[in-house]
Structure 1
Amino acid sequence: MKGRIPVLLALALALCSGFTPRRDAAPAPQPEASWPDTVKEAYLYTEGLKRLLIDGDTLAARGLLRRSLAADSSYAPAWYQLAAAGMYDHPDTAVGYARRAYELDTANKWYGRLYGQMLVRGERYDQARVLYRKLLRDDPRDPDNYRILAILYQQAGMPDSAVRLLDSAELRFGKIPLLVSLKRQLLVSTGQIDRALEEAKILAEAVPYEMENRLVLGELYSMVRADSLALAEFRAAVAIDSTSVSALASLAEYYNRRHEYRAYLGVVKRLFMLDGLPLQDKVSYFRQLTSDLRFYREYFFQVDELASTLLLRYPTDKEVVKLYGEHLIASGQLDRALAHYKLHLADRPPQLDYYTMVIDIESFNKHVDSVDRYVDRAIALFPDNPELYLRRGHVLAYAGRNDEAVRSYRQSLRRADTDSLRSVVWGFIGDAYHQMDEAAAAGSREQKRYRDASYAAYDRALAYWSGNVGVLNNYAYFLSLEGRDLMRALDMAGRVVAMTDNNPTYLDTYAWVLFKLGRLAEAKKTMQQAISLDSQNSPDLQAHYGDILFALGERFMAEVYWRKALDNGFDADEIARRLEQLKATADP
């Protein structure tokens, strides 16, 4: 054939042509070799192959291949290599190169295969189907031509043609696993499940100890709802290879589909014992199982066994340690969770997450001294982490040691590296000063100092991040309690409501500011919305709603909501004062 040079011969020529390996410095320019005109295209092609296959220099290779074609545009090997070199970077151009190579030498099966691949890659399926029909006629001994053409028939909505084609392949070659699998998929997709089942039974009987055959037969039995036969096949597959991930996974999925969850979890435990199932898949299994709280509660002991199995097999893996700790916390076993995380504080390298979990659980338990101790240990290992100082500040503030909390928050502030975090920290400082304001003697100089410091901290927080919802809400509410800067408070509370999605606490703040402004009808409407969304029966919201109703003259309902607030824990003296006011204003 014109211009055909086998690749091995081309490489042999290339290696004999004085090739010089690349060095750090570019070699001095050499005069271009001379060659007879009749072999110029072959020489350039060979040089291009050397650059491509030995140097890995695609750009230089393409340049030499194009020069080869400039010398002889009918040189098919150069077109072929240009297509192969550009099939990923320049697929649209490469398909034209592949077509040209094939047109120049239609008897070359490599050219035909590459052209077909390029057509499929470019989603030119109609052209690809025509080409693969021709390739199949020219080379009926290549099973891959049957496979690809069958897939193209399926893509074109011609599954029956695809099945007939694979039947003919089976007559020629016998049962090739890849073609058998494709044919079975086509039979199922066209509703010919009975035929697929019969063929699968024949295959399983012919090779009874092939695990994959048993799994296929089990899946097909499941499709026709022959559940006992499906189960028998899945169990047979597991008996053939009890360490097979695919066999156990198929058996587990069978039980899962039938809602036989105890059996399902038993098989999943066996999967968790296998090294063949990647850890990430095991973690995904576990998280899926625990995503449904009802399921989690009903099968807690089996799920607990799975968590213990993971921890036993991967005792120091960070993802597993975290998963097991979350499992203990979700099941209310805080003491075990605390012991679990404390045990892993000795892991190397040390993990900040373990320290923060210990600190958070100790904070929840109100163990201030323990929080201090573990924060100090964590800071020694992670001295620049602002979250540690924040956590210490939180537990100090919760314990009423607000002056110490402010100092801890300021230490966090010095290590904060983003404006959003600085805003959050200043917000906590403002909250701590507000607590000190409330604890100070009414009207005292100390109270005024704390109040001014609180508002100044909130202003600093908003200067860093004007959309800090927590700060905007608290600032607006505290201003409304004073009856101070109410229009500014209304603006802040309104922004919070606009930025959030029906949060009852934020709606309460907005309604309360409206109430303080005397806009009672609006306040009532907003507070009704807050009450309807409040699933916690907040006594503060109920007391506020009672106040608004009282101001509107709705005395009976005001008393109802005040008494609800009292039942839910609102300050009894405050409710008594309101009820006295109600009594004092009663009609004579």
Structure 2
Amino acid sequence: MYSRFMYRLSARLFAGLALCLTALHALGQDDTYTPTLDTTGATYRYFELFRQQLFDSANDETLYRQLRKAESSFPQEGEYPRWLSGLYSDSGMLDSAVACMKRAVACDSTNLYYLKSLHDLYVEQRGDPKEMTSVAQRMVALAPNRPDLWYALVVDYMRANQTDSAIAICQRLRGLLASTYTVDLIISSAFHMKGQPDSTLAYAIRNANAHYQLAEANYYVTEVAANLRKDSLAQLYFAKGLQLDCPKAPFLLTHLRYLCEIGKPENALTTLRKVDSLCPLPDSVALRIIGLFMYSVPPSMLAQKENQELMEALFAKLPMSNDAIIAKFRFYELVKERGKSRQLIARLSDLYPNDYFLWAARMEIEQLEEHPLTLENWGEKTATLRYIMRQFPHDIAAPLNYLFAVQKLVGAADERLVDSTEAIIDAYAKDLKNSNKTDQYHYYSQDSVKISMPKRLKLRENLSILYSYLGDIEIGSKRYKNGWKAYEKALKYNDSNALACNNFAYYIALYRPKKLSKAKRLSEKSLALDPKNPSYLDTYGYILYLQGDLESAKAVFTELLTLQRNPGRTALLHYSEVLRALGNEQAAEVYRLKAQYAADHAE
């Protein structure tokens, strides 16, 4: 938290200082300077003609060559290096501009105009702070009564991390600088850079009290106080600032995040509501504020009427995009306004029939609904799933959810479930057969980035998943040959299908003990693809047990229990069998009892 505030304050500081520096020559100081070029000479007339032609016709590469040639054609002293420096600067060639300006300064080291031009180039170039400091020191020596030059020196000292020198100048020349600059803010920033937060806060408060009519001065105290976890002080100065002007959007977001981080989300909501009553809520950070509240504020608090209205006001500021739609959908789900979320997604998906993410969200919310499936309402309840299967065939969730619905309606052992699965497989296989190697699926991500994927590769992956599902159904219905054929086809279409490898290995271990070596190879492959998967570790450990490699089996189950304290009834029973085979009857009984009371799924 501290480092993030440090970075933000430093960024804020230097942004402000850089802005001030760019305006130095517009502060009313007399920087007029009369060139000493002989404007009647042929050299000057040639220079002017060259400059005009240069910017009328040259591209970047030609421009650079011509400038280099010009540099050797003109005198190397007096005004010519300064004029060449200006040409280089206008062309964006800052290194060359600095080099020419250095030559001009070398010719006349007491020329304040030359020194200031060189300093401005250093600032634009973001050059060496030590060199900038040296030039600024020479400037204040020539004009000690100019606050803009002293301010430039202060900034250079801070850039060079010579904060003590910067503070000393501000304190010694407070009267001179205060006519133009907020001295206490500069000192506060310098103490911040030194890592002295108490002094940073003291001068921030002093600055806010001196400039009490400036909202930014009060908001700065809010930031510094928040950094020190002085919560009441941060809130006090935020309220003072809000009475004067609206906070900038990034600062408002930072302050709301701070209130949530210190465990006061209710204050964050109250603060934003107060801001909303006085200022327009900021469009630029609306989505980020929504995300902050959704992840930091308890859902029960967000569900309160006034807070829902506040969130709705934020949502109203978002442009129509997948991000905004998904965020609003998630919010309605979070506060259990499922009717609103379904209406939102249904309306928008009907409006945008080709938007994959809208239809995926519609499928998701419909799957969460508790409704009895009957033959009479089958068409209505599965309409979204069937639409996605037709319109977005790359999506495997829709066909799987459709098959789960069939299974829910008719039961896992019913032949109609197999028929439905095979019908979907046939449709994918036909599409694969008719596709070309160069065919692509296209859709847009949630942040509106176009995503493309090879059609044949995706179809093969989907066929592998569907055949693996078919294998589970067939084995569960004791049609073992059909099940093994389905698994083999799953791996034919995608031999990196970890789930198919694992399930095939487990059923071989259960029903074909003579083929344990094949089961082991498949299990090892599934773990190579997903080494921390508890189910895959259970399968592998059980196969090792069946092969008689008890110590290795025990090691696998030890790793499994490290990853998941309650991996489920089946895994606990397997481990109990391993321990009993090792002669550890007492431990085996403990895990048998754990299995007896464990849920038949992982935590």
Q: Tell me how far 1:363 sits from its aligned partner.
A: 3.3
In 2: Cα distance, 1:38 partner to 1:534 partner: 84
Instruction: Tell me, yes or no, if the aligned pair for 1:476 and 1:489 is still in contact at 8 Å.
Output: yes
Listed as ranges, the matches of 1:65-464 within 5 Å are 65-74=67-76, 75-81=80-86, 83-85=88-90, 87=92, 95-104=98-107, 106=109, 111-119=114-122, 121=125, 123-139=127-143, 143-167=147-171, 170-172=174-176, 174-177=178-181, 181-189=185-193, 191=196, 192-193=199-200, 196=203, 199-200=206-207, 203-204=210-211, 208-216=212-220, 231-241=235-245, 259-271=263-275, 278-292=282-296, 295-297=297-299, 299-301=301-303, 304-314=308-318, 316-331=320-335, 334-348=338-352, 351-365=355-369, 369-370=379-380, 372-378=382-388, 383=391, 385-388=392-395, 390-397=397-404, 399-400=406-407, 401-409=417-425, 411=427, 414=431, 417-418=453-454, 421-422=458-459, 424-440=461-477, 442=479, 447-462=480-495
Does 1:62 pair with 2:64?
Answer: yes
In 1: Cα distance, 2:188 partner to 2:278 partner: 30
Q: Tell me how far 1:542 sits from its aligned partner.
A: 1.9
Q: Secondary structure of 1:290's match?
A: helix
Instruction: Tell me, yes or no, if the aligned pair for 1:112 and 1:135 is still in contact at 8 Å.
Output: yes
Instruction: Tell me, yes or no, if the aligned pair for 2:140 and 2:149 is still in contact at 8 Å.
Output: yes
Structure index of larger Rg: 1
Q: Tell me how far 1:70 sits from its aligned partner.
A: 2.6
In 2: Cα distance, 1:2 partner to 1:195 partner: 46
1:60 partner letter? T
In 2: Cα distance, 1:346 partner to 1:390 partner: 20
Q: Tell me how far 1:146 sits from its aligned partner.
A: 2.9
In 1: Cα distance, 2:387 partner to 2:353 partner: 14
Identical aligned pairs, as a percentage? 16
Instruction: Tell me, yes or no, if the aligned pair for 1:153 and 1:162 is still in contact at 8 Å.
Output: yes
Instruction: After superposition, give the CA deviation of every residue in 1:470-526 in whole Å (9 maximum; x if it has no partner).
Output: 343333333333336433432342344345453311211211221232212211221
Does 1:515 pair with 2:522?
Answer: no
The alignment's C-alpha RMSD in Å is: 4.2
Q: Secondary structure of 1:291's match?
A: helix
- Alpha-carbon distance change, 485 to 182 in structure 1, aligned in 2, over 3 angstroms: farther
In 2: Cα distance, 1:278 partner to 1:226 partner: 26
Instruction: Tell me, yes or no, if the aligned pair for 1:524 and 1:548 is still in contact at 8 Å.
Output: yes
- Alpha-carbon distance change, 223 to 457 in structure 1, aligned in 2, over 3 angstroms: closer
Determine which of 479, 483, 490 is the counterpart of 2:513.
483
- Alpha-carbon distance change, 97 to 255 in structure 1, aligned in 2, over 3 angstroms: same
Instruction: Tell me, yes or no, if the aligned pair for 1:245 and 1:276 is still in contact at 8 Å.
Output: no
1:72 partner letter? F
Q: Tell me how far 1:101 sits from its aligned partner.
A: 4.2
Q: Tell me how far 1:374 sits from its aligned partner.
A: 1.3
In 2: Cα distance, 1:494 partner to 1:194 partner: 61
Instruction: Tell me, yes or no, if the aligned pair for 1:476 and 1:509 is still in contact at 8 Å.
Output: yes
| Equivalent position of 2:21 in the other structure | none
Q: Tell me how far 1:162 sits from its aligned partner.
A: 0.8
- Matched residue count: 523
- Alpha-carbon distance change, 490 to 319 in structure 1, aligned in 2, over 3 angstroms: same
TM-score, L = length of structure 2: 0.72
- Alpha-carbon distance change, 86 to 339 in structure 1, aligned in 2, over 3 angstroms: same
Q: Tell me how far 1:391 sits from its aligned partner.
A: 1.2
- Alpha-carbon distance change, 514 to 371 in structure 1, aligned in 2, over 3 angstroms: farther
In 2: Cα distance, 1:277 partner to 1:221 partner: 24
TM-score, L = length of structure 1: 0.74
In 2: Cα distance, 1:243 partner to 1:38 partner: 53
In 2: Cα distance, 1:145 partner to 1:508 partner: 74
2:499 partner letter? G
1:405 partner letter? T
| Equivalent position of 2:574 in the other structure | 544
- Alpha-carbon distance change, 67 to 555 in structure 1, aligned in 2, over 3 angstroms: closer
Instruction: After superposition, give the CA deviation of every residue in 1:340-371 in whole Å (9 maximum; x if it has no partner).
Output: 32233244585321211121233344766446
Instruction: After superposition, give the CA deviation of every residue in 1:356-412 in whole Å (9 maximum; x if it has no partner).
Output: 1121233344766446311344567xx3x3244651234314633243234335545
Q: Tell me how far 1:130 sits from its aligned partner.
A: 0.8
Instruction: Tell me, yes or no, if the aligned pair for 1:234 and 1:247 is still in contact at 8 Å.
Output: no
In 1: Cα distance, 2:526 partner to 2:254 partner: 51
- Residue ranges of structure 2 left out of the alignment (5+ in a row): 1-32, 408-416, 432-439, 442-452
- Alpha-carbon distance change, 231 to 389 in structure 1, aligned in 2, over 3 angstroms: closer
Determine which of 472, 484, 489 is the counterpart of 2:501.
472
- Alpha-carbon distance change, 201 to 249 in structure 1, aligned in 2, over 3 angstroms: same
Q: Which range moves more in the overlay, 114-123 or 63-72?
A: 114-123
In 2: Cα distance, 1:163 partner to 1:335 partner: 61
Does 1:40 pair with 2:46?
Answer: yes
Q: Tell me how far 1:555 sits from its aligned partner.
A: 5.0
- Alpha-carbon distance change, 474 to 150 in structure 1, aligned in 2, over 3 angstroms: farther
Q: Tell me how far 1:230 sits from its aligned partner.
A: 5.7
